[in-house]
Amino acid sequence: MTNRKRVFWATTALFSGLLVAGAASAQTSGTVATEGATELDTVVVTGSRTPVITGVIAQTVPKTRSSIGQEFIATQTAGQTILQSLNLVPGLNFVNSDPYGNSGGNIRLRGFDGNRVSLTFDGMPLNDTGNYASYTNQLLDSELIERASVNQGTTDVDSPTASATGGTIAFMSARPLEEAGGQLNVSIGENNYERAFVRVDTGAFGPWGTTAWLAASYTNYDKFRGPGELEKTQFNGKIYQDLGGNGNFASLAAHYNRNRNAAFFNNYTLALFNAGTEPLENDIACFRPFGANGSVQDENNSSSRIQSDGSNATGNCTSAIANRINPSDTGNVRAQFSYGLTDNLRFTFDPSYQYTLATGGTTTSLLNERDDRLDQNRLNNNSATGLSAITNAQCLTAAFRTTGVDLNGDGDTCDNVHVYAPSVTNTNRYGLSSSLIWDLNDDHRVRAAYTLDYGRHRQTGEGSFMTRLAEPVDPFSTFNRPEAAVTGRDGSIYRFRDRFSIAELQQFAVEYIGDFFDDSLTINLGVRAPKFTRELNQYCFSQNGTSTVRCTTETPASTLANGNVTFASTGTTQYIPPYQATLSFDDVLPNLGAVYRFGGGHSVYASYAEGLSVPRTDNLYQPVRSASGAIDFSTVQPERTKAYDLGYRFRNARLIAQAALWYIEYDNRIVSARDNDPSSPTFDLIVDRNVGAVKQSGFDGQLGYIFSDNFALNASASYNQSELQDDLFLGNFNCTPASQVPGSTPVCPAGGLAIPTYVFTKGKTLVETPDWTFSLRGDWDVTENLSVGLQAKYVGERFATDNNDEVSPAYTVADMDVRYDLTDSMGIRGAYVQLNVTNLFDEEYLGNISTGNSGLAAPQSTDPRVPLRAGQARTYSIGSPRTAQITLGMKF
């Protein structure tokens, strides 16, 4: 087996273009070209086949940055998301939802959630342009990733994002090989895990030495809890053309990913976890009742269920695994071009296109056959009378056949019926990143960059019919099968969401990089000026000041003076009629840094960066109608940050180290969490809340040391301290004699009194952000053919509520990888067998948290007339147990 520690000792060999460019893979080809030319102090630390987690430390970059390469990625579980492989990097905490990564996971980087961290793929932004989410189960196959890097806490000057305030995570696809060949990996594991990956390289061909590769993979396995499978199919390809050396190249790549996941697990409360009690999972099966002409069927309580423990029950089919799915079809085409126009002037051009068809998690809706949205001229107002008020005798009358819509085909319109009702998003996204880089001389460089990110989002929630087994006709409801739509008497489709948005980011950036004092000092001075425009088209009626909508063709019962309307079926509730609006956000954001190198391997660096995160689509679709009739969107404000880093680096032939102190100030800090309460109208959706100003500070440190030719250790530690600066305003409590708390004094005045209420968050800590995290990895070459890696990650306590009255306990998870080189015994180049065991010691721990204001009843005012505000116990995903996987790999 090749001893890859030679790469460490021969540091001069790292000055090749490939490794230098890899070190600078933070963002676009413009960033690669800009930083790559100054990264001759790069060093890769390796222990046999794996780099220490720091991987590449770029001595000239004035930011806290960590990288990993393919040699380390290959030690991790086959097919695993790259975010899990990066989880030992300081400052980053990724919580995987299952042991293999196909269920997604949750990102925290220095306290920022994934929506506030820029995720890029070959320089192309991946954060959803509507809600900025990162879908970690849809990323490039791990075998194809050449390098991945993390900027902790700050973005680059050309970061192509309207949301990133908390750093960047970037990964770069592998360059095609000069020699024709291929790679085949086959994996099996617990939970019936099966995966196959194949890559074929053409080698250099044609008159210009063009190179290319094609790759495909298929993964299928069972959920580790409850019924259901997770299935992923992926295809990738890349063609690369060298354009005469000197860093000149063009490449074109394509990616397609198909997920068909029964991805949702039921969640624990802290009390259940502490008691060792497991909740039931999704139902194995559910059978909807047959309709009966002339009698009332309520599928909400009369469906037949087979629960996850095999027992029978009656109720509804909302938990049936057949419809608790999370399908997605995503793809992209991306190009990169870099060319030296003259000896000192370089042009880069990176266009891209992305396609998304996905649901936000699917579920069912119980729809009454006499709902006004199906027929506003029906006989009875069911919202007032309810099914219990309808008799079987009424079901036999003509009125219950000529009004409403017969959804279950039994001849009457008396029933509550299950329909499939997912939130479907279809996005077509066009991007462009370009740079003009001018070397004034050997020591000074200027770059001008332009970014365009243009996304068209169609968001629907149209109902479609299901089979008797509660299976959808199509996973994307009516998108591919319009004939399956549930329609009203006027031909309109039943829907609970209907909107179209255009998100456009245009950004200009300028950067200066200068070397001084015989290249001992490097200074970066940059500024970016993003302008973000969001066009909103709401096709439903919006409840004033909330995200609740009514999608209907009903004629309003009344129109108020301010333009709002009411409906007969919803009483006095005011709705804003469908509207169109265009909102713009812009800012000028400095990005400054300096690094000073001294004493043979020592360097210190400092940076300052300002960030802007404009509101998500969902936040903006909650306008307030003023008394004058104007639609006000000002209640939603952008999040702004100021980030400071001060760090130290050192490296020599055996030791590599980095330590950083950081401080971040926020305005309008947005906290996002998935609503895991099945009784909530926003169940399974991401809900945001503004917790105001926040101050954060902390420490990130990492250390790698090679003890001998066959043993190396890497360690990292991070500390995070946060403090909310404001109390969270909830609204006014109307104190009247009728609402007077018995026995409280003084009594409410006769005329009533509005008392402001709050969640008293001032001085509290941010949710879901551990105070301490530690990681440790050791790599040992036992023999020339046998290598062993052992790693562990400690995650400290995390608060589940803004009020800090519920906390998730700390945990430690250890993983092991063992590889045996089979090249000599099998005679096949690059043949090996590898065992991966995640959660080696079977630690029981809580994973992702559905955060909220309070877990317990808490004061909401200092006024004794205001009662305690009820809390709600938070829910958590459960960490996956010990899981083993075996991979057989070879090259040909």
Q: What is the mean pLDDT of residues 515-535?
A: 94
**What pLDDT, on a 0 to 100 scale, did the predictor assign at position 36?**
53
> What is the tens place of the pLDDT at every residue in 395-443?
888 888 888 899 999 999 989 999 998 999 999 999 999 999 999 999 9
pLDDT beyond 60 at 484: yes
Please give the sequence-ordered ranges of beta strands (E in DSSP) within 248-344, or none if there are none. 248-261, 268-269, 285-287, 303-306, 312-315, 328-342
CA distances (Å), origin 426, targets 128, 357, 430, 456, 474:
11, 5, 14, 8, 15
Higher-scoring residue by pLDDT: 344, 826: 344
CA distance 224 to 264: 11
Residue type (1 letter), 23: A
**What pLDDT, on a 0 to 100 scale, did the predictor assign at position 625?**
86
Residue type (1 letter), 468: R
Give strand pairing partners of 380. Answer: none
Q: What is the mean pLDDT of residues 802-826?
A: 94
Percent of the chain with pLDDT over 70: 87
> What is the tens place of the pLDDT at every residue in 743-773?
555 567 666 778 888 889 999 999 999 999 9
Can you tell me whether residue 653 is helix, strand or coil? Answer: coil
Whose CA is closest to 868, among 790, 784, 767, 758?
758
Whose CA is closest to 885, among 142, 79, 85, 102?
79
Helices (H), 645-751: none
CA distance 357 to 477: 11
Whose CA is closest to 676, among 461, 425, 878, 417?
878
> What is the tens place of the pLDDT at every residue in 547-582?
889 999 999 999 999 999 999 888 889 999 999 999
CA distance 533 to 531: 7
**What pLDDT, on a 0 to 100 scale, did the predictor assign at position 2?**
38
**What pLDDT, on a 0 to 100 scale, did the predictor assign at position 378?**
60
pLDDT beyond 50 at 691: yes
CA distance 659 to 400: 74
Band of pLDDT at residue 131, cut at 50, 70 and 90: confident
Q: What is the mean pLDDT of residues 513-520?
A: 94
**What pLDDT, on a 0 to 100 scale, did the predictor assign at position 264?**
79
> Per mean pLDDT, which of 60-74, 237-251, 659-673, 731-745 is the most reliable?
237-251
- Name 477's Cβ contacts closer than 8 Å, sequence gap at least 6: 420, 421, 422, 424, 460, 462, 463, 464, 484, 485
> What is the tens place of the pLDDT at every residue in 15-68?
222 222 233 434 577 776 666 533 323 333 333 343 333 343 444 567 788 889
> What is the tens place of the pLDDT at every residue in 220-255?
999 999 999 999 999 999 999 999 988 999 999 999
234: which 2 tokens?
A: 């992926």
**What pLDDT, on a 0 to 100 scale, did the predictor assign at position 80?**
95
Q: What is the mean pLDDT of residues 456-461?
A: 95
Phi and psi at 324, nearest 5°, equal -90, 65
**Contact by Cβ (8 Å): 72, 28:** no
> Per mean pLDDT, which of 284-288, 673-677, 866-870 is the most reliable?
284-288
Whose CA is closest to 243, among 76, 92, 29?
29
Walk across the sheet containing 285-287 and list its strands: 285-287, 303-306, 312-315
Residue type (1 letter), 412: D
pLDDT beyond 50 at 91: yes
**What pLDDT, on a 0 to 100 scale, did the predictor assign at position 188?**
98
> What is the tens place of the pLDDT at every residue in 602-655?
999 999 999 888 888 888 898 888 888 888 887 778 888 899 999 999 988 899
- Name 648's Cβ contacts closer than 8 Å, sequence gap at least 6: 602, 603, 604, 605, 657, 658, 659, 660
Whose CA is closest to 761, among 694, 813, 698?
694
Q: What is the mean pLDDT of residues 366-377?
A: 86
Q: Left, alpha or beta for 389 (phi > 0: left; psi -120 to 50: alpha)?
A: alpha
Walk across the sheet containing 558-559 and list its strands: 549-550, 541-543, 575-576, 565-566, 558-559
CA distance 28 to 826: 41
**What pLDDT, on a 0 to 100 scale, did the predictor assign at position 175?**
96
Please, what is the average pLDDT of the chain? 86
Higher-scoring residue by pLDDT: 625, 507: 507
CA distance 797 to 817: 27
> What is the tens place of the pLDDT at every residue in 151-199?
887 777 777 777 777 788 999 999 999 999 999 999 999 999 999 999 9
**What pLDDT, on a 0 to 100 scale, did the predictor assign at position 675?**
44
pLDDT beyond 80 at 677: no
CA distances (Å), origin 653, targets 5, 60, 708:
11, 19, 11
pLDDT beyond 60 at 688: no
Whose CA is closest to 164, among 591, 757, 539?
591
List, as one string, the DSSP characters of 191-239.
TTEEEEEEEEE--SBTTTTBEEEEEEEEEEEE-SSSS-EEEEEEEEEEE
Whose CA is closest to 444, among 359, 372, 514, 505?
514
> How many C-beta atoms lie closer than 10 Å to residue 746's C-beta?
9
540: which 2 tokens?
A: 């439903």
**Contact by Cβ (8 Å): 559, 539:** no
**Contact by Cβ (8 Å): 436, 347:** yes
Containing 385, the helix (H) or strand (E) segment is helix 382-385
Angle CA 62–66–68, to nearest 5: 145
